[in-house]
Amino acid sequence: MTYTPPTTEQLFVLNHIANVSAMADHERFADATPDMVEAIVTGIGEFAADVYAPLNRVGDVHNPQWNNGKVTMPAGFKEAYAQFVEAGWGSIDGPTEYGGQGLPFTLAGVVTEALGTANMGFTLCPILSAGAIHALMAYGSEEQRQTYLPKIVSGEWNGTMNLTEPSAGSDVGALRSTAEKVTEGPNAGLYKIKGQKIFITFGEHDLTDNIIHLVLARTPDAPEGTRGISLFLVPKYRLDADGKPTISNGVHCASIEHKMGIHSSPTAVMVYGEDEDCLGELIGAEMGGIRAMFVMMNNARLMVGCQGVQIAERALQQAQRYAAERVQSSLAGSADRTPVTIDHHPDVRRMLWRMRSQTEAARALIYYATAQTDFGHLGDEDAAARAEVLIPLAKAHATDIGCEVASLGIQVHGGMGFIEETGAAQHYRDARIAPIYEGTNGIQAADLVGRKLGLAGGAAVRSLIDDIARDAKDHPALAHLAESCRHVTDYMMGASTPDRLAGSYPYLTMLSTATCGWLLLKQRRAAQAELAAGTGDSAFLNAKIGSTNFYLDQIVPAAEGHYAAAVAGDAALPAIPAIA
């Protein structure tokens, strides 16, 4: 289960899709020079391979242990995390005024990709911290920022996101946790938090000396539903007079879940204010919790999409190595009956090319989405609107790809893929959560047709389709898919809500595939230009052309098959018959 950082591929996509060099033209990202970008991509790849990758199987087999409210991580994890903090890898895009490096979010995404490919479960810890940073920067007070951000940015403390409750999953508005304002005494102005939250990633562990929980709760007399929700900062330990986290704050981990995968990530049941007062600070305005939380969630959704890339890359590498070593049968139709490695057999080659092209497609989609987010932060309103459209595509489609590629990786291994010791099964088990958390992929599709489709009266989505169609004139299959996406968009704009929702997932898949095809087509042209100029790594460039050809010739045409379902409407989905 070795991991080789795909550094050449990452730099190629950063240059030709993310356009990271243009970010350095702005004062805010002036330090993102080509040398700096290459140093970061190379350095994090080496760190991930040397420090995080060896712990991947350790964490899968030897899970974090809960005992009387405390969680102990497997051997080696605390030391690895300390190295992560010391090297500053968590501070890449952190605000400089609070100890961060102020580099583009896109580069932080590459750091997350490398670490997550090496060890997906472990890397969930800094993912949520990044979301907490963004939420505090957007809505926190200056006092809150000064108190908490330096430690979260450095990674010395981690952040969590507390939405889900036993009775409130996707329906966040049904939550029951409460927050009552303290009006007298030394804690006046704070809120007493009471309630239970479930599925809290790294809600308890021994990697840091404090954990900063961002908790959704309802104040007294707040209206029902999401309008009445507020967001609170709730530390595991409050700070003493010296600024040290020593004061117990009524935060208790009742248990951790036994899960199908991502065993390195302790998923906690958190209880607030059960045995002692739990005090929290209001973030932003009262009953403004959903607005504040969406800042955190959008960041997290892109990084969960990145997990699709992570697990696809790891499964691809393992399957390709196995196929190059496993000798089985001679080639059918060949006069030579000598057994060959299975990567010579046509169907195995088909699976490997599909794995490779889908992995590269997902990476391009994630890098493009994070880059548009960065350009949006630089003041480009069109890029900001494009990023809004891309978020549901990136989260849903990239995680679907992660599951597909991990499944194909097992298939390439044959019967050995079903045996735990080979490690191929772990990738599939780890991948399967990504389409579920941070808003299921069905919710992403609903977001696409419910919110993103209506941005600027539909212009935000249509401009993406226009860009794809404009560049695809010399590729009939991609051009046709773009036009099909346009037709479905027109249908969706005039359809009822039930009809839009019924076709939302097929539509998301079509639009995502068209976007990925477009981004790969751009890369093929860049690769061809570099080959013609005699620059670059010819083996890599030819492989890039090969994977793009496979995607455009085989995956793009297949996406047309979703058209009928996208426009079938709600009548095509009658009520499910009862089980007899």
The residues annotated as belonging to the active site are: 438
- Which DSSP helix (H) or strand (E) runs through 85? helix 77-87
Give the C-alpha separation, 516 to 361, whole Å: 5
Note whether 203 and 270 are within 8 A (CB).
yes
Q: Which two tokens stand for residue 129?
A: 């911290």
Handedness of CA 279, 285, 288, 293 (dihedral sign): negative
Q: 252, 291, 309: which is closest to 275 by C-alpha? A: 252
Q: Which two tokens stand for residue 136?
A: 């505090």
Q: 394, 387, 385, 409: which is closest to 445 by C-alpha? A: 394
Between CA 308 and CA 313, with CA 309 as vertex, the angle to 5 degrees is: 120
DSSP 8-state class, residue 50: I
Note whether 180 and 154 are within 8 A (CB).
no
Give the C-alpha separation, 305 to 298, whole Å: 11
Residue with tokens 């911290």: 129
Q: How far is CA 103 from CA 117, 305, 476, 493, in A?
A: 22, 21, 39, 38
Q: How far is CA 566 from CA 5, 358, 498, in A?
A: 38, 22, 12
Q: 215 — phi, psi (to 5°)?
A: -120, 130
Give the number of other CB atoms < 10 A from CB of residue 174.
13
Give the C-alpha separation, 432 to 417, whole Å: 16
Torsion on CA atoms 504, 510, 513, 515, rounded to nearest 10: -80
Give the C-alpha separation, 549 to 542, whole Å: 10
b/e map 402-432, b = 16+ CB within 10 Å: bbbbbbbbbebbeeebeeeebbbbbbbbbbb
Q: Which two tokens stand for residue 102?
A: 């102020």
- Which DSSP helix (H) or strand (E) runs through 303? helix 289-325
Q: Which two tokens stand for residue 293?
A: 């939380």
Give the C-alpha separation, 500 to 95, whole Å: 40
Note whether 14 and 37 are within 8 A (CB).
yes
**Helix residue ranges per DSSP H, 432-552:** 441-447, 459-471, 476-494, 497-502, 504-533, 538-550
| Burial classification of residue 226, based on how many CB atoms lie within 10 Å of its CB (0-12 exposed, 13-18 middle, 19 or more buried) | middle
